[in-house]
């Protein structure tokens, strides 16, 4: 049996408050009645079908159960009442009593126990219960329902593990009441259109039948809270009907809404029909006209929503239980003709509709996505919100909207603004200030949608005042997880921006390379609360220009390895090269003259190389990993150490006591032209034939 509050979704007749002070009148008529009579009276109340009767039935049954806790029928009826009142915790408690006493007496109560465990968020327990039911039952219908619920448990566990970045918070202000509020639609200027029961006297129908009905309201946001709750005028609201599920045209001059009969005057049947009204002036509306093209007399038509087909022609979505559907409530659509009439009614199809109830459609025209609620697709709770991309006849696959859009309770009526960024949904999830039965009643919740983020980028030559995008840049995108980077995409740029889909709360590295340009490495982090759906960045590449770069040799005094101060400033040209070409490496080659033994000269060249290496790494802060050393001793003289006649050549030997710098690069095309140069200063000419600063001895220079 479908629980009573499912009527909420057909006609929008809603029921009582969760707060203790607003409950229906306690049962006092037969305080001394026997438990059997109380069970009988409870069964009669349940047949009446309204909330007051169900609540009173629960009072009778609770008294009877307290007297006879071992009577399985009382526990079964009490579980059914709590189920229909959406008191999931109490319903789970009493269904478990039934199953523990005898799981075969009311065999389907094991299914409902699993369903209540699921709606209380106990997914692992629900899986065990539902699996046991599936193995025990021969009822094909309930076996199918149980398999959907079982799949929903697995869906819920996966969705909880990977929540979306959407935000859902209780709407503040005069939108929510202690009773029921539903069918919210965002309007311009921070206003919301919604339906609600007018006062808390709705919990007692006898007290005020007019207040039992729901009506259409508008409220506006001020300082973070909704105020100026305004009842729409007659004839839109009607004291003899429940009205709700209203949608305005873009100019707010036309409204389509639902009018529903009173279940008590219809033998517990509730029939809803669609109506349309137009505005006469700023305050007044014309008399609503029934949409006879869409309604039918024997059932319900409700939940209108604007939409477009594949050719952007206007259509109207709606919900109905007419014959020929998939079962229960189905979503339909019909084209809107230019004269305001409607064309052929079409079932939205098996991608959307299920044997269960499928309802509250909303079409996001910007993103071409239909939002709807369903109990037939595997979900986290009773009703979950789903999305499906496309248009009639061209639908994709339905997807659960995930956490936190959905909860273990009922979630429905999602509707967004024109930008698809803000909106509302309706849920009976437990609110922070709920009292008593925390899940009895539906409230309006505000939604911030965090759609996927698109990254758009261009590479520009640094210094280009017009920022013309560079073509032919190889872009590699890395996703960063701690110190680990994984490649998730690559691209070659053209005249347009390159794009990637990125995730909130994630860091990325972009590597851009292009011939004759220095490589670019850029990092970005997409914040968790990023409110943009598109992030645009400009990356810059430094162009490499081939130029002649002079790199000095360093000369040493005889038998010395210290770097002469004169050369320390000259070495700055080496630093400039390493700074301008960060991918290049440096090789230090150390040499000596021929005086001394081979072994001694080898060690002397090592000391000279080390001295220069230390100067560059410690003083000038060049990374040690970028420098390599080679020592040659006297084996590779730049010039001869002796004159042609065999005499010693002090100036030649001075030129051989040197360190040479060699730039190592694999990119010879873009590399600069490097030229070693330098001269031997008088300070280092200390061998024979040169003036010795220490002993002032003059030795004749060679000619």
CB 641 within 8 A of CB 651: no
Q: Which CATH superfamily is domain 548-684 in?
A: OmpA-like domain (3.30.1330.60)
Q: What is the pLDDT of residues 464-489, one digit of tens each?
A: 999 999 999 999 999 988 878 899 99
User: Which of 147-151, 176-180, 204-208, 681-685 holds the top average pLDDT?
Assistant: 147-151
pLDDT above 70 for 520? yes
Q: Which residues are 538's β-sheet partners?
A: 458
pLDDT for position 546: 59
pTM (predicted TM-score): 0.69
Query: Quick check: 490 and 474 in contact, CB under 8 A?
Result: yes
Q: What pLDDT does 9 receive?
A: 42
Structure tokens at 470: 């560079």
| Cis peptide preceding 404, ω within 30 of 0 | yes
CB 487 within 8 A of CB 207: no
Element (H, E) at 321: none
Contact 234, 262 (CB under 8 A): no
Give the confidence band of 430 by pLDDT, cuts at 50, 70, 90: confident
pLDDT of residue 455: 95
Q: Are strands 453-461 and 443-448 parallel, antiparallel or unpaired?
A: unpaired
3-state secondary structure of 322: coil
Q: In what order do the strands lie in the sheet with 181-187?
A: 181-187, 191-197, 214-222, 225-231
Which residues sit opposite 317 in a β-bridge?
A: 305, 333
Contact 366, 344 (CB under 8 A): no
**Tokens found for residue 648:** 């010693």
Q: What is the pLDDT of residue 200?
A: 46
**pLDDT at residue 701 tops 80:** no
pLDDT confidence tier of residue 394, bands split at 50, 70 and 90? very high
What pLDDT is attached to residue 694? 47
* CA angle (181 as vertex; 175, 182 as ends), nearest 5: 110
Q: Does residue 383 contact residue 412 with C-beta atoms inside 8 Å?
A: yes
Q: Cα 369 to chain center, whole Å?
A: 16
Mean pLDDT for the stretch of residues 420-439: 81
- Pair type for strands 301-308 and 289-290: unpaired
Across the range 420-431, mean pLDDT stands at 92
| 308, burial (CB in 10 Å: exposed 0-12, middle 13-18, buried 19+) | middle
Residue 86 parent element (H or E): none
What are the beta bridge partners of residue 454? 501, 534
Domain ranges in the chain are 4-161, 167-175+233-447, 453-541, 548-684
Two tokens, residue 573: 């040209």
Check whether 122 has a pLDDT greater than 70.
yes
Average pLDDT, stretch 303-324?
A: 96
> Quick one: pLDDT at residue 70?
94
Alpha carbons 113 and 248: distance in angstroms, whole number: 42
Task: Pick the most confident of 59-73, 185-199, 543-557, 592-606.
Answer: 59-73
- Alpha carbon distance 408, 411 (integer Å): 9
Phi, psi angle pair for 504, to nearest 5°:
-70, 150
Report the SS3 class of residue 565.
helix
- Domain 4-161 fold: 1.25.40
Q: Predicted confidence band at 48 (pLDDT cuts at 50, 70, 90)?
A: confident
φ/ψ (deg, to 5) at 684? -105, 0
CATH of domain 453-541: 2.60.40.1120
Lowest mean per-residue pLDDT among 16-25, 45-54, 134-143, 221-230: 16-25
Go through 263-278 and write b for each residue having 16 or more CB atoms within 10 A of its CB, e for each that does not.
Answer: bbeeeeebbbbbbbbe
Contact 504, 530 (CB under 8 A): yes
pLDDT value, residue 689: 47
Q: Confidence class of residue 670 from pLDDT cuts 50, 70 and 90?
A: low
Give tens-digit pLDDT for 194-249.
999 755 443 443 444 455 688 999 999 999 899 999 999 999 999 888 999 999 99
pLDDT band at 549 (very low <50, low <70, confident <90, very high): low
Per-residue model confidence as pLDDT tens digits over 152-200: 999 999 999 999 889 999 999 999 987 789 999 999 999 999 999 755 4
R_g of the chain, CA atoms, integer Å: 41
The whole-number pLDDT of residue 277 equals 98
Mean pLDDT of all residues in 428-447? 80
Contact 428, 179 (CB under 8 A): no
Collapsing DSSP to helix, strand or coil, 157 comes out as helix
pLDDT of 6 higher than 60: no
Q: Which tokens sit at 702?
A: 């060679």
Give me the mean pLDDT over the 689-697 stretch. 45
Mean pLDDT across 639-647: 86
- Most confident of the ranges 189-203, 371-385, 616-630: 371-385
Torsion sign across C-alpha atoms 82, 88, 90, 93: positive
683 pLDDT band, cuts 50/70/90, is low
Please provide the CATH number assigned to the domain covering 167-175+233-447.
2.120.10.30
In degrees, rounded to 5, the angle at the alpha carbon of residue 304 between the alpha carbons of residues 175 and 325 is: 130
The whole-angstrom distance between residue 212's C-alpha and the CA centroid of its chain comes to: 40
Please report the pLDDT score of residue 643 as a whole number.
Answer: 86
The two three-digit tokens of residue 268, written as one number: 């517990």
H or E stretch at 604: helix 598-614
Cα angle for residues 256, 393, 339 (degrees, 5° grid): 35
pLDDT at 104 over 80: yes
Strand partners, 551: 676
Residue 270 pLDDT class (50, 70, 90 cuts): confident
Token pair in block for residue 456: 């758009």
- 624: pLDDT strictly greater than 50: yes
């Amino acid at each position: 049996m479908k629980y009573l509050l499912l009527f909420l979704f057909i006609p929008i007749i809603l029921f009582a408050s969760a707060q203790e002070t607003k409950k229906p009148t306690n049962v006092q008529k037969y305080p001394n009645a026997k438990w059997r009579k109380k069970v009988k009276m409870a069964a009669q109340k349940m047949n009446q079908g309204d909330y007051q009767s169900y609540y009173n039935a629960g009072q009778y049954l609770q008294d009877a159960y307290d007297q006879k806790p071992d009577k399985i029928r009382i526990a079964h009826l009490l579980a059914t009442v709590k189920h229909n009142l959406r008191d999931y915790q109490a319903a789970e408690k009493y269904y478990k009593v039934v199953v523990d006493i005898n799981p075969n007496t009311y065999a389907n109560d094991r299914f409902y126990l699993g369903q209540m465990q699921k709606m209380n968020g106990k997914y692992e327990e629900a899986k065990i219960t539902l699996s046991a039911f599936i193995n025990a039952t021969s009822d094909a219908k309930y076996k199918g329902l149980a398999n959907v619920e079982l799949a929903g448990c697995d869906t819920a566990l996966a969705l909880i593990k990977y929540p979306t970045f959407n935000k859902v918070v209780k709407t503040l202000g005069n939108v929510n009441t202690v009773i029921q509020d539903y069918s919210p639609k965002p309007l311009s200027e921070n206003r919301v259109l919604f339906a609600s029961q007018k006062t808390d006297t709705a919990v007692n129908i006898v007290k005020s039948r007019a207040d039992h009905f729901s009506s259409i309201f508008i409220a506006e946001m001020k300082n973070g809270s909704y105020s100026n709750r305004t009842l729409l005028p007659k004839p839109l609201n009607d004291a003899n009907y429940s009205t709700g599920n209203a949608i305005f045209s873009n100019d707010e001059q036309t409204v389509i809404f639902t009018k529903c009969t009173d279940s008590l005057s219809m033998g517990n049947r509730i029939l809803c029909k669609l109506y349309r009204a137009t505005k006469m002036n700023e305050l007044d509306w014309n008399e609503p006209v029934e949409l006879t093209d869409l309604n039918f007399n024997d059932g319900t038509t409700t939940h209108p929503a604007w939409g477009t087909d594949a050719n952007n022609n206007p259509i109207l979505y709606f919900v109905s239980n007419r014959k020929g559907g998939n079962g229960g409530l189905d979503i339909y659509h019909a084209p809107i003709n230019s004269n305001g009439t409607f064309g052929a009614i079409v079932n939205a199809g098996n991608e959307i509709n299920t044997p269960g109830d499928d309802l509250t459609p909303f079409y996001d025209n910007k993103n071409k996505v239909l939002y709807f609620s369903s109990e037939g697709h595997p979900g986290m709770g009773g009703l979950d919100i789903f999305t499906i991309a496309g248009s009639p006849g061209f639908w994709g696959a339905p997807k659960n909207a995930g956490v936190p859009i959905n909860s273990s309770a009922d979630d429905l009526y999602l509707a967004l603004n024109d930008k698809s960024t803000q909106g509302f949904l309706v849920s009976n999830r437990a609110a922070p200030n709920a009292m008593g039965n925390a899940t009895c009643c539906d409230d309006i919740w505000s939604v911030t949608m965090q759609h996927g983020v698109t990254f758009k980028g261009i590479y520009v030559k640094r210094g280009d005042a017009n920022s013309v995008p560079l073509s032919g840049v190889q872009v590699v995108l890395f996703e960063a997880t701690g110190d680990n980077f994984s490649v998730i995409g690559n691209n070659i740029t053209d005249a347009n921006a390159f794009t990637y889909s990125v995730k909130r709360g994630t860091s990325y590295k972009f590597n851009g390379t292009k011939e004759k340009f220095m490589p670019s490495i850029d990092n970005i982090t997409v914040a968790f609360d990023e409110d943009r759906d598109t992030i645009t960045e400009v990356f810059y590449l430094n162009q490499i220009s081939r130029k002649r770069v002079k790199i000095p040799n360093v000369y040493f005094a005889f038998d010395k390895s210290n770097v002469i101060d004169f050369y320390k400033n000259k070495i700055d040209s080496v630093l400039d090269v390493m700074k301008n070409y960060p991918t290049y490496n440096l090789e230090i080659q150390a040499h000596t003259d021929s005086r001394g033994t081979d072994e001694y000269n080898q060690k002397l060249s090592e000391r000279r190389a080390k001295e220069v290496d230390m100067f560059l790494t410690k003083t000038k802060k060049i990374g040690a990993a970028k420098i390599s050393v080679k020592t040659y001793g006297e084996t590779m003289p730049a010039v001869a150490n002796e004159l042609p006649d065999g005499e010693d050549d002090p100036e030649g030997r001075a030129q051989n006591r040197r360190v040479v710098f060699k730039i190592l690069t694999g990119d010879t095309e873009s590399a600069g032209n490097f030229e070693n140069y330098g001269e031997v200063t008088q300070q280092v000419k200390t061998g024979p034939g040169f003036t010795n600063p220490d002993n002032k001895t003059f030795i004749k220079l060679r000619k």
